[in-house]
Structure 1
Amino acid sequence: MRDRAPTGLSRRRQRLSDEETEQRMLDTALDMVNLTGLTVGLDHIGLEDVIRDAGVSRSAVYRRWPYKDLFFSDLLRQIAKAATPAVADAGAALELINGFARDHLDWLESPEGRRRLCAEMLRLGAAHDFEAIHGSTEWRTYLALHATFLSLEDGELRDDVRESLGRAERAFVERIASRYRHLAGLLGYRLRAELGATFETMATLAQATMRGMVTMALSTPEVATLRLRSAPLGEDRPADWSLPALGIAATAFTFLEPDPAVTWDAGRMAEVGAALS
């Protein structure tokens, strides 16, 4: 959380501008939401608690927001603006799948091996992402924010929240698409031309699957723990597949096919190995 405001005598001597009071209140309340999660509403956030933790004057707060509902409307806008569902622990996920690929570079020598390697990288990456998202307070807040948005009456607040959520969604999909684009290029895959799709299309469907699984697992815990011993993509050895990983891999291989323009010679193999280092 952000640094606490001064307390005691130092707090009483400090005079904040109305703008500083506003920002401190919103930042403090946002910290509270990020700590506890949004609960399809803001009833669990007390205005007096926010005033206390923000270290601001009650009179300044009520001058800026004469009614509590006005503050919570601005807070909802602030939450929506800050709603950036980052790729779940992207650095750790990338190192996990790159490390696996480095240990299995010999699989690049055949089309079957490259397909198996791609499948395994998707399997490991999807399982990792699911665990990170499923345990994330920020992600639960993000999902709850969508539900809260649906309950808002038509008007300026609903429009503002919709715009912020749409911007966050587009940025998120682009980041996921970039990951898929990188993986496909590395392993010599391309999008199937007959689908007329983009990596953003693929990312949108894959993340819809992931988000649906995360939502289901909140009330149906076995969704998070179930593993199927199988080889769903024609691999020569079965592995333990989570449901999210199965969904993500099935989506990916619906869109992807080997790129015939890629020549898998020693130079190409060395290039891929260097890229994974």
Structure 2
Amino acid sequence: MTGETPGSGLARRRRRLSDDETARRMLAAAATRVEAAGLTVSLEHISFEEIIRDAGVARSAAYRRWPYKDLFFGDLLRELARGAVPAITDPNPGAVGAAARTLLASLGWARTPGLRRALAGEVLRESALGEFEVFHRSSAWRTYLALQATFRGLPDGALRAEVQRSFAESEGSLVAGVATAYARMAGVIGLRPRAGVTYETVARAAVATLRGLVLMAPANQEITDRRFRANPFGAPEPAEWSEPALAIASVVLGLVEADPDVEWTDERERSVAAMLRSGRWAAG
């Protein structure tokens, strides 16, 4: 007597997936490969056959959904662009704590309006280097930059317009997050944007600087390694700086000034110190 036993024959046959489920699995498998290896300025290094294998879908189902490989790559670009900006802008508890400790250590500087930019410089001296190193090591960020390069080569049409809209939304979210962080820091210290400048302008300039440094770093190791003592913002004493921190701090602090409406009293200093110790300053 013959028959099927559990785990064999018909019981092992692959359930036929819908076109939507096939698409979901294929795009997820391709995005995983891109996140692991990064993206070149084209998608030619992505093997359609390997994606089919990684996704665990039937070859016939994949080719039914995408008769031509270019159609799949078009959908993959849309998928990547929708979540284009790497998720590295969320508050990092370690970085937030370090910034609070830096502010607390020199909070008395804020009593002198001329030293408030120097106090912000101390925070950026520490945090900007950390941001650069995260971006520099991140395959997700390299993918984002390469995706932008790929986008520039797209012909005019529906795909280019859709990817452009996704980029605009992603860039807007990135800038908004950075602008919020700068606004919070400035509010604590007693700074404001210069006339005609918004924190969004400051954030865009800082992100552009950081992006340029990340692009230059592979060919110029000094950007990552070099340290030097300097006092670029009039602090009481020189300190050790890195090139990324100096570049980003110069951009940010060149666009802000001491807020003349802020009166730094003993009561304000106690209130700010308590807020920094509690972590509330980073939450809004």
Fold-level match, TM-score > 0.5?
A: yes
RMSD over aligned CA atoms reads 1.9
Tell me which amino acid in the other structure corresponds to 1:52: R
Greater Cα shift, 160-169 or 138-147: 160-169
Tell me which amino acid in the other structure corresponds to 2:16: R
Shift of 1:217: 0.3
SS of the residue corresponding to residue 240 of structure 1 reads strand
Shift of 1:19: 0.5
Q: Is the 8 A contact 2:109 2:115 kept in 1?
A: yes
CA distances 1:169-196 after superposition (whole Å, capped 9, x unpaired):
1110111000110010000111122xx1
Tell me which amino acid in the other structure corresponds to 2:75: D
What is the TM-score of this pair, normalised by structure 2? 0.89
- Find the partner of 1:129 among 114, 128, 131: 131
Shift of 1:162: 1.2
Shift of 1:268: 0.6
2:182 maps to which residue?
A: 180
1:276 maps to which residue?
A: 276
Q: Which runs of 5+ in 2 are unaligned?
A: 1-6, 278-284
1:213 maps to which residue?
A: 213
2:19 maps to which residue?
A: 18
Shift of 1:104: 3.3
Q: 1:62 to 1:26 in 2, by over 3 A?
A: same
1:46 maps to which residue?
A: 47
Hey, what's the Cα distance between the residues in 1 that align with 2:215 and 2:90?
19
Q: Which runs of 5+ in 1 are unaligned?
A: 1-6
Please list, as runs of the form range in 1=range in 2, the aligned pairs for 1:130-145 lying within 5 A after superposition. 130-145=132-147
Say which structure, 1 or 2, has more relative contact order (CA 8 Å, 6+ apart): 2
Asked if 1:192 is matched to 2:206, the reply is: no
Q: Is the 8 A contact 1:205 1:251 kept in 2?
A: yes
Tell me which amino acid in the other structure corresponds to 1:45: I
Asked if 1:250 is matched to 2:250, the reply is: yes
CA distances 1:56-91 after superposition (whole Å, capped 9, x unpaired):
111111100001111111111111112123345631
Larger radius of gyration: 2
1:3 maps to which residue?
A: none
Q: 1:8 to 1:204 in 2, by over 3 A?
A: farther
SS of the residue corresponding to residue 44 of structure 2 reads coil
SS of the residue corresponding to residue 180 of structure 1 reads helix
Q: Is the 8 A contact 1:39 1:141 kept in 2?
A: yes
Hey, what's the Cα distance between the residues in 2 that align with 1:23 and 1:151?
26
Q: Report % sequence identity.
A: 48
In the alignment of these two chains, the number of paired residues is 269
Hey, what's the Cα distance between the residues in 2 that align with 1:72 and 1:165?
17
Give the ranges of 4+ consecutive aligned residues of structure 1 lying more than 4 Å apart after TM superposition: 7-11
